[in-house]
Structure 1
Amino acid sequence: MPPTARTIAVIGCTGFIGRRIGAQLLARGDRVLALVRPSSRHRAALPAGVEAVESDLVANDPRLTAALQRADAVVYAAGAVRGRTLADFLPANVQGVSAVAEVLAREAQPRQVVLLSSLAAAAPELSHYAQSKRRGELVLTAAPASLPWIVLRPTAVYGPGDRELRPVFDLMRRGWMFTPGAADQRLSFIEVDDVVRAVLAALDHADAANHGIFALDDGRPGGYDRTTLARSLRPAGRMRCVPVPRGLLAGIARINLRLAQFCGYAPMLTPGKVREITHPAWLGDNAPFTAATGWTPQSDLATGTRALFG
């Protein structure tokens, strides 16, 4: 529990992780301001009790300044995960962070910002998404030293409300594992409520974790290989492993990229995403964040997916 109730501004409160952050902040007695764009169609997704505040994420928007001045701390959970070009990712993943940092840095005593980044930021050369996430982090590292900030880099996040990993896990529970990576690839995962608890821990231990960048996963040493992944999702019964040639996946991604350009949609599967999902290892390291805040993950993959699927 926080020592006293605070007002927390949450940017991205209508998203998969942001909604749960807002709900948990309210549950422990904090007040929550959700900054939403005037054109947002997702206000109905806000948890009951959250105050919606209209603002564009630009530093010269007086509504952004006014909203942040009401807050004791800021959680930046907004993010773009789909896009065709780097420019598609910049507004949410970089420019919004820059606007918030600029407004906060103007204050005599700047308020803390917790940035929800991604483990992909550790390898920015892989994709536009990864590069944009790293550039968002660099906004904070380049900010005045007086601005308190913490960056969290969760690995692949799953849980209630997730639309990306759930279908993959569902197939695996039915006995089908598609494996685009190398045979010795190691992956890590983290349940959404463990991410939320990490955000709250960052808010409550601002001094101990200040100016830290923390890579988080569910704590399984060495992550998951194909065998442990299969056992976690399907402890009993046969798992059929279907290798997916990287060249085939890359070809599909290139076609999808062209279709996205022609049809005007934001693609998920792109050549950059293929490089991400075939990367040899995505692993967190909880020890530094645990030492600073006391946070530890509560769910491994087997426990988290059992709760997810019931």
Structure 2
Amino acid sequence: MKILVTGCAGFIGYHVAEALLARGDKVVGIDNLNDYYDVRLKQARLDRLKPRTAFAFHRVDVADKDAVGRLVIDHGDLDGIIHLAAQAGVRHSLVDPYTYVQANVMGHLVVLEAARRLPGLRHLVYASTSSVYGANTSLPFRETDRVDTPVSLYAATKRADELISHAYAHLFGLPQTGLRFFTVYGPWGRPDMAYFSFARAIMLGEPITLYDDGRLRRDFTYIDDIVAGIVGSLDKPPEDSAVPRLLNIGNHRVEEVRELVRLLEDALGRKAIIRSAPRPAVDVAATHASVEAIGRLTGFSPSTPLAIGIPRFVSWFQTWRNG
């Protein structure tokens, strides 16, 4: 197959592109390489993909309708799209809200418009987020739960994407699956994520801030499990293209953030300097994914607990930091 991967220099996009190439697919990757975090990390991921003959990279902003339109004309034989490009980060949406609407809402619309003009497109898989569950307190989160109480602009833009996708499936019969990611972590990860910034601070002897004494609970999901779920979903288009799917993709295990810190301390061989603060308004107390639906569809069965995934991340992190 020939697959377009948006955000291919990002954390998840890079790993997905690697997996598709490894199984023999052709990958067309786009990314704008913005400076939300260290561009050198994005470039390093991209440098690992570029030597592959089945990989073609285009530096394109996903919200640029003209550039994406031209690209789709040039690659009109695409079989699938995995749309991962977005402005990530819950707290940063308080700092730069306009970027979130431009990248996440306009970018999603641009991809949908391009997708509906591809005659051979079998499936569009796109990234949503567990953040859409917002103030919901019923655990585990299920796809049938109400999602009309977002607590961040980031979550609101991702819920908007889900609704726009529903309209495009209804109007144009565009086969789609939205995946609600739960706290993805692992090697080549994002420096703005807690596990990455904690590791850096612990190594440098700098303090870290734990909200509510580290008692916030998260469904931490290792990158290899996430990739398996994404690729498995891509291979299972909806039987009725007018009815889009929404699926949770998580670890189905809940850990307190202070356990994450303990595992980082063990793997790094250093103690954290901890400061406590109240939970910000944009953070929820807990996330927990029900993964029965994606399991029935694809056989998805996450197999990497935090106690295994964090040492793997630390091994990569120390190599990257010393490289």
Same fold, TM exceeding 0.5? yes
- Please tell me whether residue 179 in structure 1 is matched to residue 190 in structure 2: no
Of 134, 142, 150, the residue aligned with 2:167 is 142
Asked if the contact 2:264–2:314 (Cα under 8 Å) also holds between the matched residues in 1, the reply is no
Q: Aligned residue pairs: how many?
A: 276
The equivalent of 2:291 in structure 1 is 286
CA distance in 1, matches of 2:214, 2:33: 47
The equivalent of 1:3 in structure 2 is none
The equivalent of 2:320 in structure 1 is none
- Specify the SS of the correspondent of 1:302: helix
* Deviation of 1:126 (Å): 1.4
CA distance in 2, matches of 1:302, 1:38: 32
More divergent stretch after superposition (201-210 vs 231-240): 231-240
- Pairing 1:5-84 to 2, within 5 Å after superposition: 6-37=1-32, 45-46=45-46, 47=49, 48-49=51-52, 50-53=55-58, 55-57=60-62, 58-61=64-67, 62-67=69-74, 69-81=76-88, 82-83=92-93, 84=95
The equivalent of 2:150 in structure 1 is 125
1:70/1:108 CA distance change after superposition, 3 Å: closer
1:35/1:70 CA distance change after superposition, 3 Å: farther
1:240/1:292 CA distance change after superposition, 3 Å: same
Task: Say what the alpha-carbon RMSD is for the aligned residues.
Answer: 3.4
- Unaligned runs of at least 5 residues, structure 2: 135-148, 316-323
CA distance in 1, matches of 2:4, 2:153: 27
CA distance in 1, matches of 2:214, 2:34: 45
Asked if the contact 2:31–2:85 (Cα under 8 Å) also holds between the matched residues in 1, the reply is no
- Unaligned runs of at least 5 residues, structure 1: 1-5, 250-273
Identity of aligned residues (%): 25
Asked if the contact 1:179–1:241 (Cα under 8 Å) also holds between the matched residues in 2, the reply is no
CA distance in 2, matches of 1:70, 1:102: 16
- Pairing 1:63-212 to 2, within 5 Å after superposition: 63-67=70-74, 69-81=76-88, 82-83=92-93, 84-107=95-118, 110-123=121-134, 125-145=150-170, 146-162=173-189, 163-164=191-192, 165-169=195-199, 178-181=209-212, 185-207=216-238, 211-212=244-245
- Specify the SS of the correspondent of 1:134: helix
Asked if the contact 2:294–2:300 (Cα under 8 Å) also holds between the matched residues in 1, the reply is yes
1:68/1:195 CA distance change after superposition, 3 Å: farther
- Please tell me whether residue 224 in structure 1 is matched to residue 255 in structure 2: yes
